[in-house]
Amino acid sequence: MDTDVLIVGAGPVGLTLAFDLGRRGVKTTIIEQKPEPAFLPKMERCNARTMEIFRRLGIVDDVRKAGLREDVPMDVFVVLSLDRPPLLRLPYPSVKEAKLDARATNDGTAPCEPYQLISQYSLEPLLAKFCERQSDVTLRWSTEFVSLAQDPEGVNVQVRGKDGATSSIRARYVVGCDGGVSPVRHAINIKLRGEAGLLGLRQALYRCDELFDRLPIGNGPTRGRHYHVADDKATFLIMQDSTKHWTLHATVDSDEEMKRQFEKTVGIPVKYEMLSCNPWRQNLLVADKYQLDRVFLAGDAVHLVIPTGGLGMNSGCGDAIDLSWKLEAVIKGWGGPKLLPSYEFERRQIGDRNVGASRYASQGRRKWRSMWKPNIDEDTPAGQQTREVLTMIADIEQRKTNEMIGAELGYRYVDSPIIMDIPGGPEHLFREYIPNTWPGSRLPNVWVGDGSPIQDNIPEGYTILRLGNTKADSSGLAKAFAALGAPISTLEVPDRVAREVYGFDLILLRPDLHIVWRGNTPPDDPAEVAAIATGHGDR
C-alpha cells in the first residue's frame, strides 16, 4: 500500500477529512488537479456545527482569524439598491455578539461555537496548510484522477501529473471529494437523482475596496452580509470575508451585463474590478449510493443543494467527520464489518434531509420574489403597494434562508446499524433546534463548572458520560469496549445543569459526539452495546 486512504479533491471537505485522518495517525494522500487553491467564490459561511468540528480539530481560532472580523454584523437586507433605504432589514448578530449570547445560554440550545463568515478561497489555503503540517498527510497538487480498479484488498488509482505522465497509487480506501461532476463517482457508476437545472445564473467576483467603508450610503442600509435586490433578475450581492471583495448572482446573459448589474445594485459610482464571472445552475440532487466497496463519496460528489440555507459545504464537513473515525477504526483493526457501511446509511439520510431544507428555503425566496412588479420603483400609490406587499412576504419567507439552526444542529441518525436506536424520536425541524439526547443525535452543548463547553472535556474515542454524581456502575460497558480494542474513556460530569439538560445518568458517545445509547442504569448487555457501536454486532 502506498497510502491507507487516498482522497481525490482538495476542497474544504477533502481537506477536512485529510486533516482529521492525519491527526488520527492514518496515512493519507490527497490529490488535486489544480496547482493551488483557486481564488473563486463558492461557499462563504461555516455554520455552527462546522465551527464546532473545527474546534474539535483544534483550528477554530485560526479559521476565525482568516475570516470576517468578529464585530461585523451578519444582517440581511432586501433592497432596491444600496443607495436607497432598504425595504427590509433582518438583523443577525456579529460573531462577537453570538459568542456572548451562546455563553449566556446554558439550556443546550446554543452551540459552543457560532457561525463564521469565511470565503472558500480563504478557507482552502488554511486547511491545506494544516494538512501539509501533518506527518501522515501527503498533499499532491497538479495531480489529476484518471481511473480506478478495486480488488478485495485495496484500490489501484491511476493519476496524471502536470507533465502529462501517468502513475499509480495503491490505497486501502479511496474517497471522492471531487465536486458535483465527480470523476470518482462516474468511475464507480453512481448516479445523482433529483431536480437538476432549476435556474441558470451568473456568479461574478468583484474587488471594490471602498464599498464597505462607504456603507451606509445616504439613508441606505447599514452594513450587512447579504443584499437581495428586489428585481426580476434574482440579483443577490454578498459581502466576502475581506470586506473588499463582493459576489453578485443574477440571471443575466453576459459577463458584460454583470458589470452593469453590479453598478446598478451599488447605486453610486465606485472603483471596482470584476475578477471572474461564471455561469452556474441550481440543483437539488442526491446520489443513489455513497459507497461502492472500498470507494466512498463525500460533499458535492453526493449531494448538490441550492446555496440558499448554507447547507452545501457544511453538509460535506459533516460527511468528513462521520467517515474519518470509521476509516481509522477499520484500518487500526477495532472497527467491525458493519462500521464503514454505516457511513452511507447515516449520511445519505442527512443528504436527503438537507436537500429538503434547501428546497424549503429556496421556495421561500422565490415566493417573495414573485411579488415583484415593474412598478416597484415608481413613486406612486401602486408602486408603494408593490413594495409593501413584497416586503411583507419577504419578512416571512426570507427568514427561511437565514434561520436553519435546526438543520445545522438537530440532525439525527435514524435507525443506524451502529446506534442503539429506539422507536420514535423528536421531529426533524429545519429552523428550530430543540436539544435532546435521543440516540443518533449530536450531544447538545452545555457549559460546565470551569466555564468550558462540555465538548472540550470529552476525549477522543468513545466516551461514557456519568452525570449528576450517579452511582450507576458503568464499568461493565467500559470493559466491553476495551475487550474489542476500541478506545473508551469515562468522564464524570457532576454539574447539575448537564444532568437536567441531558435527562439521563449515563450517556455513551461516539468519537464524533453523536449519542449511541443513554440510560439511568447500565445496559442489560454491555457487550452487545459495544459490539453494535463498533460495527461488530446486529441490533
Secondary structure (3-state) at 463? strand
Q: What is the pLDDT of residues 361-417, one digit of tens each?
A: 999 999 999 999 999 999 999 999 999 999 999 999 999 999 999 999 999 999 999
Task: Using the predicted structure, report yes or no on whether residue 264 has a pLDDT greater than 80.
Answer: yes
Contact 193, 288 (CB under 8 A): yes
Percentage of the chain exceeding pLDDT 90: 95
Q: In whole angstroms, what is the distance from residue 361 CA to residue 21 CA?
A: 34
The confidence band for 156, taking pLDDT boundaries of 50, 70 and 90, is very high
Read off the pLDDT band of 421 (50, 70, 90). Answer: confident
Give the pLDDT score at 122. 97
**Residues 60-78, mean pLDDT to the nearest whole number:** 97
Alpha carbon distance 272, 144 (integer Å): 35
Report the alpha-carbon distance of residue 471 to residue 473 in Å, rounded. 6
Is the pTM higher than 0.95? The answer reads yes
How far, in Å, are 113, 280, 285 from residue 198 at the CA level? 34, 10, 11
Residues 314 and 308: their CA atoms lie apart, in Å, by: 12
Query: To the nearest whole number, what is the mean pLDDT of the chain?
Result: 96
Query: Could you give the angle at the alpha carbon of 253 between the alpha carbons of 251 and 255, nearest 5°?
Result: 100
Is the pLDDT confidence value at 179 over 80? Answer: yes
pLDDT at position 218 over 80: no
> pLDDT-based confidence at 43, cuts 50/70/90?
confident
> Is the separation of the CB atoms in 248 and 235 below 8 Å?
yes
pLDDT confidence tier of residue 450, bands split at 50, 70 and 90? confident
**Residue found by looking up cell 453526493 in the block:** 302
The Cα 403–Cα 393 span in angstroms is 16
Q: What are the grid coordinates assigned to 303, written together?
A: 449531494
Choose which CATH entry (3.30.9.10, 3.30.70.330, 3.40.1080.10, 3.65.10.10) describes domain 68-110+199-281+370-404: 3.30.9.10
pLDDT digits (tens, 9 = 90+) for 302-328: 999 999 888 999 999 999 999 999 999
Q: Strands (DSSP E) along 14-102, which ranges?
A: 28-31, 45-46, 76-79, 88-90
Grid cell for residue 499:
444532568
Measured between alpha carbons, how far is residue 68 from residues 13, 116, 144, 301 in Å?
20, 7, 33, 28
Each domain of the chain, given as residue ranges in start order, spans 3-67+118-195+287-357, 68-110+199-281+370-404, 412-533
What CA–CA distance (Å, rounded) separates 31 from 40? 19
Residue 11 near residue 179, CB atoms below 8 Å:
yes
Candidates 55, 60, 102, 96; CA nearest to 445 is 102
| pLDDT at residue number 471 | 97
**How large is the average pLDDT for residues 209-220?**
90
**Distance between CA atoms of residues 157 and 172, nearest Å:** 11
Nearest of 49, 89, 97, 51 to residue 73 by alpha carbon: 97
Q: Supply the DSSP string of 391-419, one letter for each residue.
A: HHHHHHHTHHHH--HHHHH--B-TT-TTS
Quickly count: other Cβ atoms within 10 Å of residue 187's Cβ.
20
Q: C-alpha cell of 370?
A: 414573485
Tell me how far apart the alpha carbons of residues 360 and 532 are, in angstroms, rounded to a whole number. Answer: 35
Chosen CATH of 412-533 out of 3.30.200.20, 3.40.50.2020, 3.40.30.120, 3.40.1010.20: 3.40.30.120
Pairing state of beta strands 295-297 and 488-493? unpaired
Per-residue pLDDT, averaged over 251-269, amounts to 97
**Residue 31: predicted pLDDT:** 98
Residue 220 has pLDDT above 90, yes or no: no
The CATH classification of domain 3-67+118-195+287-357, taken from the options 3.30.70.3280, 3.40.30.10, 3.40.50.720, 3.50.50.60: 3.50.50.60
Q: What is the DSSP letter of 512?
A: T
Query: Strand 200-207 and strand 515-519: pairing?
Result: unpaired
**pLDDT of residue 439 exceeding 80:** yes
